[in-house]
């Protein structure tokens, strides 16, 4: 058994997930990045190796419940349990409510919400056994205040907040915490594709008048995953430059 605790980060290959992987590894976790993007996983493995960080990578499509569960169970068996789980993988299929197809809705729910549930269910077993666990869902400011054009996405993100609060209540006595981090607008590949006009409009709604960076989210996650956050559970840390308070 490894002396280090194991952290699993879904969607860890790039963007916010990658920054979380690096921050948790720097914080003393052995980290496994699960992602569907093999190329980005290999790139991450190379960077982690160069920086002497304890990072493993594994290609998994997290919408495949059986494979995700089997992967989580195997990781728990091989590494003395799962210490932390960060449900970070997420997608958008933005459209106005009357134009969202069943497929757009189902896909967003499958990746953003159902996979987070499946991973949580699997991780909870070893966390309860070990009397230690940190479950952190990456929600979104859209799930807190809503966002035009993101009915499906906002629904999935609000559900992640409700799920964390319920898991927090259920597992509190076993020293397992469950929290959310809700990012505002963060500069990543996901947001790079937005038109300039949409970005300017988004910035004007942020009191601090600036976009966030992946490290802003990774810092909040690193705190919640650490011993320092031992009394924090059922919380949602909003990291958005004040956007959700400015309505
Ligand atoms: P991203 O698109 O750069 O990264 C998402 C990662 O998830 C990718 O590496 C992708 O390959 C992986 N992924 C997608 N589907 C998968 C699947 N079926 N199986 C395994 N891995 C899969 O996105 P970004 O911006 O880094 O976002 C990360 C999280 O933060 C998401 O949950 C997103 O909703 C949330 N978020 C992002 C914001 C932003 O402004 N970028 C704002 C609020 C929340």
Q: One digit per residue, pLDDT tens: the chain, 247 residues? A: 448 999 999 999 999 999 999 999 999 999 999 999 999 999 999 999 999 999 999 999 999 999 999 999 999 999 999 999 999 999 999 999 999 999 999 999 999 999 999 999 999 999 999 999 999 999 999 999 999 999 999 999 999 999 999 999 999 999 999 999 999 999 998 888 889 998 998 899 999 999 999 999 999 999 999 999 999 999 999 999 999 987 6
**Residue 153 appears among annotated catalytic residues:** yes
* Cα separation, 136 vs 9, whole angstroms: 9
The tokens for 215 are: 């490290």
CA of 235 to the centre of ligand 1 (A): 21
DSSP state of 113: I
Check if 152 has its Cβ closer than 6 Å to any atom of ligand 1.
Answer: no
**For ligand 1, is residue 135 a contact (CB within 6 Å)?**
no
Q: Which of the following is catalytic: 111, 119, 143, 153?
A: 153
The whole-angstrom separation of Cα 116 and Cα 10 is 9
Which pair of tokens denotes residue 36? Answer: 């569907």
pTM of the model: 0.98
Burial of 144: CB neighbours in 10 Å, binned 0-12, 13-18, 19+: buried
Q: Is the CB of 88 under 6 A from ligand 1?
A: yes
β-pairing, 176-183 vs 133-138, is parallel
C-alpha span between 229 and 147 (Å, rounded): 30
Q: Cβ atoms within 10 A of the Cβ of 39, count? A: 10
- Ligand 1 neighbour 191 (Cβ under 6 A): yes
């Amino acid at each position: 058994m490894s002396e280090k605790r194991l952290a699993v980060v879904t969607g860890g290959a790039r963007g916010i997930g990658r920054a979380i992987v690096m921050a948790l590894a720097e914080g003393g976790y052995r980290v496994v990045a699960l992602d569907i993007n093999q190329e980005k996983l290999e790139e991450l493995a190379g960077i982690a190796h160069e920086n002497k960080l304890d990072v493993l990578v594994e290609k998994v499509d997290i919408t495949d419940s059986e494979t995700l569960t089997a992967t989580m169970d195997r990781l728990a068996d091989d590494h003395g349990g799962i210490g932390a789980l960060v449900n970070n993988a997420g997608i958008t299929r933005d459209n106005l409510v009357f134009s969202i197809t069943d497929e757009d809705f189902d896909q967003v729910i499958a990746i953003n919400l159902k996979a987070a549930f499946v991973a949580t269910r699997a991780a909870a077993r070893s966390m309860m056994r070990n009397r230690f666990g940190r479950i952190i869902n990456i929600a979104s400011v859209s799930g807190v205040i809503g966002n035009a054009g993101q009915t499906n996405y906002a629904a999935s993100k609000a559900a992640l907040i409700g799920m964390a609060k319920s898991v927090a209540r259920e597992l509190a006595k076993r020293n397992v915490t469950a929290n959310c981090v809700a990012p505002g607008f963060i500069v990543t590949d996901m947001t790079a594709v937005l038109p300039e006009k949409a970005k300017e409009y988004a910035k004007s709604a942020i009191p601090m008048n600036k976009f966030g960076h992946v490290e802003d989210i990774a810092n909040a996650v690193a705190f919640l995953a650490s011993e320092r956050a031992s009394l924090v559970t059922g919380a949602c840390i909003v990291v958005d430059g004040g956007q959700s308070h400015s309505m």
